[in-house]
Amino acid sequence: MTELTRFEEEEFTGSFNAETLLRILAQVKPHWLWVLGFLLTISIVSGLDSYFTFLSKRIIDEGIGTGSFTLLRKIILQYGLLIIFQAVNVFGFIYLAGVLGERVRYDLRQKLFNHIQNLSLSYFNETPVGWIMSRVTSDTERVAQLVTWGFLDITWGVINILTAAYFMFSINWRLASIVFTIIPILIVIAALFKKRIIGEYRKVRKINSQITGAYNENITGVRVAKAFSREQQNMEEFQELTDEMYHAGYRAAWLSALFLPAVLLVSSLALGSVIWYGGLQVEVGLMTVGGIQAFISYITFMIWPVQDLARVYAEMQRSIASAERIFSLLDSEPDIQDALQAQEPSSLEGDIVFENVDFYYQEDDPVLKGFNLSVEEGETIALVGPTGGGKTTIVNLLARFFEPRRGKILIGGIDYTQISMHALQSRIGMVLQTPHLFSGTIEENIHYGKLNATPAEIRQAASLAGADHFISALEHGYQTQVGEGGNLLSVGQKQLISLARALLRKPDIFIMDEATSSVDTLTESHIQKGMENLIEGRTSFVIAHRLSTIKKADRIMFIRQGSIAEMGSHQELIKMKGEYYRLYTQQFRKELAKTFDTPDLMGMGVE
Amino acid sequence: MVDQEKFDISESIPHHRLRSLWKIMRGYRKTYIIATISLGVAAAARSGTYLLLGRFTDRLLAPANIKESILGIVLGFLGLALIQGTFTFLSGKLAAETSESITRRLRNFLFNHIQHLSFAYHDRTNTGELIQRTTSDVDALRRFFADQAIGAGRILMLFVVNFTVLLTLQTKLALLSVAVVPITITLSILFFKRISDAYEEYQDQEAVLSTTLQENLSGVRVVKAFARQDFEKKKFDRENWIKFLKGKNLLTMHSLYWPVSDILTGGQMLAGFYLGAQMAIQGVVSTGTYIAYAGMLIWIIWPIRNMGRLIVQMSSGLVSFERILKVIREKREPLSQGDYLPPDGKIEGDILFDQVSFAYESNETVLKNISFHAKPGQIIALLGSTGSGKSTLVNLLPRFYDYTEGKLLLDGVDIKRYPRRFLRRHIGLVEQEPFLFSRTIRENITYGVERNVPDRELIAACKASAVHEVITQFSEGYETLVGERGVTLSGGQKQRVAIARTLLKNPKILILDDATSSVDVETEAEIHLALENLMVNRTTFIIAHRIQSLMQADIILVLDQGMIIQKGTHEDLLSKPGKYQEIFNIQAKIDDALQKELTPSTYQT
């Protein structure tokens, strides 16, 4: 359970960490001119906003008050020019902050992605894909928001309040002092509200994902629900969820609806005092009507920066939590790294030897213990045995996805940790049990095996793999889109393509994990042929499930509980009448049974 | 508030989407209208504030003309603020009530609706799409009511109220003050239309980027095995860069729209100030009137800039609604419709197929002239390749599909006369890949049993299904959660849980649709035992591939392309030339081969 909780989406803790903040700033350092640019333009915009109010006051006092048309026109002209200047700055801050935000998003994602490529397989075994995904997508989003719109909002709010304060104090400092007593009250109210509201919305999101889950089950399990006439009860259960959703959503919404009026009421107290006290000051000539008007405008519009600051503060906390998660991913180091002076041989020749190899994923749960194996160059080894016995671990160690915890693996007499990972892995060809393709065309997928391959080479590899047959029959041939994860193709077809991909590579060592899922007989025979072509002349390790594959191997190893229980040729092992014999006869019956449903045996056309 | 149980959204839903929108608001229309009116009251209170401010100014400048005291004005001011605050809150609260209530009702309705839609509908509908309809489209509709429509209403109310007041203050000034409003609205609609397209492209690219990442992560072994890290980095960089460019494009559009609309709106405002101030100097209006006018002017023209955004969002909200309507308009499968129930409420399990055919609505014939008679307690086996119609045939029994031609009788009565719910209560189905819910094992097994199941009975069912031992090994036992958040059961374990589930239901007719194919050899024997327990005293239909599982059947039907090509017992079919015999002979041949394979080696020893 600890594993699970570790990756649960952490709620933000809200502690301001100066170190994290500095690291965030370091991310935007290369673009400091942009930051400077948007901070400058937003400051101008914010200051001008305050000044506009002051200009409105001057229209009243100096224009209407004096009755001078010239003065009025002068103020209006100044106002008009400033509106245009303001527009230029508005363009500036939106463009600068917006594009910078995109840039920071791009940078962070690329940095994370590049880092992820270097992490070892053990990291991916321990870390759910969804966890990594949300680091790269939503967390980068939040950090980018913080360094652009977050900083921008803060700057705008602070400058706005400061300049408004400046004008208010210069109009009438006594009145301004009264007004400014309400600002702390407003900030406290805003902060309290935002905290509650954010809490409610978090609840809403949680219930919402439960509702999505319920729909998902309702739709995918609809046949069972129908077969068991469960409609009524399902509905009742679902109603509980929507009721909860209603209450949480309603609460969040009315709290939000209450927020503005509450702030409004508090600020209207300030307005009341302005009218009251200001009125008296006007009567004794200490203040003008325009001045009061200006005060009223300042107070009315001060609500925005105040409530904005509360929102930005809450978002900042979340962004910092996001940044911490991003940095934790960036700080994780790959378990397996190249030795300082790793060799870069152009091919992997010679025997492969496992020498006293120990391996475990978790320390208290050993998978291999003192494992020894020597394989001659060109030999084909079939690995058979129960799930969890260690077959996959052996090939993962060979491909250096993991390294032995103790003992050595030698290739051609050299400890393979002295060979660079790139050199090793680019000479190994691998076909996995659940073949993974990338979205794109069939050609692009085969291409993956050798990036500079010509179309002719690709075709050749495909036909050697026995894949050319079905590819040519497709409407778009090699240009057929395989869909996300290759999902538009059948498992058998995917396997054929991954065979072609491996063949194109002309590897020195070939590793295959045979698919267990059923494939139609025709494809099956194509796969067999492709595999034989790959095994030919190469040191090969096959985690085998099919009898034909097993029988063709030079040596068969029955792996159980991390060690070789039985080893030898098919005939030898059959004679032993041990575990292999049992497995073999069982598998034989199973394959036999399957032939009943094969369309060609039934004499019926393939659908 | 209407009783939400009684309100059936699907009943006579009008064809036009706006009228449908009105319809689904039933029970909350008044609330929503009050919410909008409240916005008008709040806007009026705001205008009142400015008028009061004007009077206040005039009182200060020419105290002789105005009688109100400053204190009175202050109190009026506070009173108006209170009214404005109260009604703003009221409208927010009522709008929330409306939107949340309507969405809750819609969510409940859709959930229930979906589980009442026919098999045929679910066959042709993509799961992901249906989930989209029920989640994000419903949420789009919620936002339509909660934010967009009410937001547009707010802008409209501000405009109408302030403009009306301005008209009474100074007609000419009022008319001149709104000269650019049509331009602003047009501009904003045009802009937001383009923005929403650009935004969609941007989001699409985000999806591409996520897919690239996800594929990279799930294919991490391939990437490593081929040492293709650099290639992957470049690939990601390409998509990432495209997204950057799309984002830049989006931002550029924003950075152009806002200053342009600022100049337009600011210019209008300034023109208003100028004209107003001029009138004030000329004495056409008082200074107080000017101040009131200047205050209200801001509330007329600035909010207009957002109108385009709201209109575009609303229209996409309506598109979501249209998609939801499509689901709503699908016909439900009536569960309790039927005019016959056996007098004792029980069925015998005598099933007669007489020239039964079945075709989808698309006229694609799946079953043709199926005839056979299954007596109570008999075992009927179905053999045939994928797509031969085996599953469809058994799905006619619980009326998942209704046969289209011929006659299908249960206990001598046309099956279409039985209510579907009644049939399904008496028919048990174990599927090839049984679906379990993310609940506890206990809840999964008692699924569909409407009474409280005592532990004794539960354990007995699980023992008979050979799954009790497995369950007790989990630390939480029967309370263990199944699925992502709990344990992952193997194919064989799921299969046996499903058998236990069916056993508890105690059906008179049992359908085993390829129930043992996904099971490994060791557990197969155990399941067979469980299945034999299950079959006692029930009319059983078995779909299977292995002759061993079929041999004991009373009737074996060999199907091909929707027709029965052979019918009889194992012995019958074996003695006649035909597909069955062929298959059996192949089996015999393979058995021989195994013997041959094994024998020489044993002799050599």
> Tell me, what CATH number does B103's domain have?
1.20.1560.10
Closest C-alpha among A471, A541, A530, A521 to residue A500? A530
Q: Name the residue in chain A with its Cα closest to that of B292.
A: A293
CA distance B324 to B578: 52
Please report whether residue B344 resides in a domain: no
* Cβ within 8 Å, pair A601-B241: no
Q: Within an 8 Å CB–CB cutoff, is residue A225 touching chain B?
A: yes
| CB-CB under 8 Å, B81 with A265 | yes
Backbone angles phi, psi at B430, to 5 degrees: -115, 120
CB B384 to CB A428 under 8 A? Answer: no
Rounded to whole angstroms, how far apart are CA atoms B525 and B144?
58
Q: Which residue of A has its CA nearest to B224?
A: A425
A-proximal residues of B, 531-560, CB under 8 Å: 545-547, 560
Inter-chain touch B225–A428, beta carbons under 8 Å: yes
Q: DSSP characters for A512-571?
A: EE---S---HHHHHHHHHHHHHHHTTSEEEEE--SHHHHHHSSEEEEEETTEEEEEE-HH
Q: Measured between beta carbons, which residues in chain A are less than 8 angstroms from residue B221?
A: 121, 401, 430, 432, 436
Q: What is the pLDDT of residues A104-127, one digit of tens each?
A: 999 999 999 999 998 988 888 888
pLDDT for res A12: 44
Band of residue A519 on the pLDDT scale cut at 50, 70, 90: low
Inside any domain, residue B346: no
Of A242, A432, A588, the CB nearest to B222: A432
Q: What is the pLDDT of residue A520?
A: 64
When the pLDDT of each residue in chain A is averaged and rounded to a whole number, the result is 85
Look at B138 and A225; give whichever has higher pLDDT: B138
Q: Is residue A607 predicted with pLDDT exceeding 60? A: no
- A122 vs B contacts (CB less than 8 Å): none
Least confident span in A353-362, A382-391, A509-518, B144-153? A509-518
pLDDT band at B594; cut points 50, 70, 90: low
Please give the pLDDT value at position B67: 65
- What are the pLDDT digits (tens) for B460-504? 888 888 889 889 988 888 998 887 666 777 777 888 888 889 888
- Residues in A closer than 8 angstroms to B119, CB to CB, are 223, 226
Q: Rounded distance, CA A106 to CA A17, Å?
A: 24
Residue in chain A closest to B484 (alpha carbons) equals: A4
3-class DSSP assignment, residue B41: helix
Q: Does residue B504 share a domain with residue B454?
A: yes
- Per-residue pLDDT reduced to its tens digit, A248-295: 999 999 998 898 888 888 888 888 888 888 888 888 888 888 998 899
Evaluate whether residue B481 is within a structural domain. Answer: yes
B52, B101, B242, B251: best to mutate for the A interface, most A CBs within 10 A: B251
pLDDT: which is higher, A342 or A211:
A211
With an 8 Å Cβ cutoff, is A361 touching chain B?
no
Q: Does B146 touch chain A if contact means CB atoms closer than 8 Å?
A: yes
- Which tops the pLDDT comparison, A491 or A420? A420
| Yes or no, beta carbons of B262 and A83 under 8 Å apart | yes
Chain B residues near residue A253 by CB distance under 8 angstroms:
92-93, 95-96, 99-100, 146
Mean pLDDT of A52-71: 92
Close Cβ partners of B9 (under 8 Å, ≥ 6 residues apart): B23, B24, B105, B106, B109, B328
Q: What pLDDT does A7 receive?
A: 47
Residue B10 falls within a domain, yes or no? no
Higher pLDDT, A589 or A501: A501
Minimal C-alpha gap between A167 and chain B (Å)? 19
- Residue among B96, B241, B259 minimizing CB distance to A88: B259
Together in a domain, B225 and B363:
no
Rounded Cα distance, A292 and A274, in Å: 7
Query: What does the DSSP assignment read for A192-230?
Result: HHHHHHHHHHHHHHHHHHHHHHHHHHHHHTHHHHHHTT-
pLDDT score for A92: 96
Question: Are residues B198 and B154 part of one domain?
Answer: yes
In a shared domain, residues B395 and B430: yes
Are B243 and B197 within one domain? yes
**Same domain for B97 and B120?**
yes
CA angle (B420, B426, B431) in 5-degree steps: 90
Evaluate if residue A8 carries a pLDDT over 50: no
The CATH number that domain A345-427+510-516+539-595 falls under is: 3.40.50.300
Q: Is A595 on the interface with B (CB under 8 A)?
A: yes
In-domain check, residue B168: yes
Which amino acid, one-letter code, is at B76?
G
The pLDDT-based confidence of A71 (bands split at 50, 70, 90) is very high
pLDDT value, residue A604:
33
Chain A residues whose beta carbon lies within 8 Å of the beta carbon of residue B561: 604
Q: Which residue of A has its CA nearest to B103?
A: A246
- Convert the pLDDT of each residue in B152-162 to its tens digit: 999 999 999 99
Residues of B in contact with A336 (CB under 8 A): none
Contact (CB<8Å) B115/A64? no
pLDDT at B60 > cutoff 50 = yes
pLDDT at B64: 67
* pLDDT tens digits, B562-577: 999 999 998 888 888 8
Phi and psi angles of residue B568, each rounded to the nearest 5 degrees, phi first: 155, -175
Q: B268 in a domain, yes or no?
A: yes
Tell me which long-range contacts B155-160 makes (C-beta under 8 A, separation of at least 24): B155/B303, B155/B304, B155/B306, B155/B307, B155/B310, B157/B36, B157/B39, B157/B40, B157/B42, B157/B43, B158/B43, B158/B46, B158/B299, B158/B300, B158/B303, B159/B300, B159/B303, B159/B304, B160/B40, B160/B43
* Interchain contact B60–A (C-beta under 8 A): yes
My answer on whether B229 and B274 are in the same domain is yes
| pTM confidence score | 0.81
Judge: B266–A254 Cβ closer than 8 Å, yes or no.
no
Whole-angstrom distance, CA of residue B29 vs CA of residue B27: 6
Asked if the Cβ–Cβ distance from B291 to A590 is below 8 Å, we say no
Chain B segment 294-333 residues within 8 A of A by beta carbon are 294
Report pLDDT digits (tens) over A163-196: 999 999 999 998 999 888 888 888 888 888 888 8
- A246 contacts B104? CB cut-off 8 A: yes
Nearest CA in chain B to A84: B263
Domain count, chain B: 3
| A600 has pLDDT over 50 | no
Which range among A488-492, B321-325, B473-477, B509-513 shows the weakest confidence by mean pLDDT?
A: A488-492
- Highest CATH level, class, for A18-172+317-332: mainly alpha
Chain A residues touching B91 at Cβ < 8 A: 257
Who's near B271: CB < 8 A, 6+ residues apart? B176, B177, B179
d(CA A270, CA B537): 85
What's residue B142's pLDDT? 94
Interface residue of B107, B210, B392 to substitute, partner A, most A CBs within 10 Å: B107
CB contact under 8 A, B60 and A133: no
- For the cut 50, the answer to whether the pLDDT of residue A46 exceeds it is yes
Residues in chain A, how many? Answer: 607
Q: Find the helix or strand (DSSP H, E) in which A2 lies.
A: helix A2-7
Compute the distance between CA of residue B303 and CA of residue B359 in angstroms, rounded to an integer: 59
Determine the Cα–Cα distance for residues B56 and A296; give it in Å rounded to an integer: 13
Q: Is the pLDDT of residue A100 over 60?
A: yes
Containing B411, the helix (H) or strand (E) segment is none
Contact B248 A601 (CB under 8 A): no
Report CA Rg, chain B: 36
The DSSP secondary structure of B522-589, one letter per residue, reads: HHHHHHHHHHHHHHTTSEEEEE-S-HHHHTT-SEEEEEETTEEEEEE-HHHHHHS-SHHHHHHHHHHH
Nearest to A517 by CA among B390, B514, B517, B499: B517
- DSSP conformation class of A597: G
CB contact under 8 A, B217 and A211: no
- Of all residues in chain B, the percent with pLDDT exceeding 90 is 44
User: CB of A578 within 8 Å of any CB in chain B?
Assistant: no
Strand order in the sheet with B405-410: B365-374, B351-359, B405-410, B413-414
* pLDDT for residue B107: 94
Q: Are residues B42 and B128 in the same domain?
A: yes
Residues B424 and B285 in one domain: no
Interface membership of A286 toward B (CB under 8 Å): no
| B164 and B259 inside one domain | yes
Contact criterion met (CB < 8 Å) for A448 and B146: no
CATH value at residue B520: 3.40.50.300
Residue type, B171: T
Cα dist from A581 to A120, A384, A543, whole Å = 38, 12, 17
Instruction: Measure in Å the smallest separation between the Cα of A341 and chain B Cα atoms.
Output: 19
B520-543: average pLDDT: 76
CA–CA dist A400, A383 (Å, integer): 18
Residue B384 to residue A116, Cβ atoms within 8 A: no
Do B561 and B588 fall into the same domain?
Answer: no
The string of pLDDT tens digits covering residues B298-340 is 888 888 888 888 988 898 899 999 999 999 999 888 888 889 9
Residues 4-43 of B with CB under 8 A from A: none
Question: Given an 8 Å threshold on Cβ–Cβ distance, is A86 in contact with B262?
Answer: yes
* Domain that residue B122 falls in: 23-328
More confident residue, B204 or B586: B204
* Nearest chain B Cα distance for residue A360, angstroms: 19
B596 C-beta neighbours (distance < 10 Å), count: 9
Among A29-38, A232-241, A554-563, B4-13, the minimum mean pLDDT is found in: B4-13
| Residues B255 and B173 grouped into a single domain | yes
B590: pLDDT confidence band, cut at 50, 70 and 90? low
Q: Do A242 and B127 touch (CB under 8 A)?
A: no
Please judge whether A215 and B89 are an interchain contact, meaning their C-beta atoms are less than 8 angstroms apart.
no
B587 pLDDT tier (thresholds 50, 70, 90): low
Bridging pattern class, strands B509-513 and B427-430: parallel
Q: What is the mean pLDDT of residues B109-136?
A: 88
A448-468 tens-digit pLDDT = 888 888 999 999 999 888 888
Inter-chain CB proximity B244 and A106 less than 8 Å: yes
Determine contact, residues A428/A399, Cβ cutoff 8 Å: yes
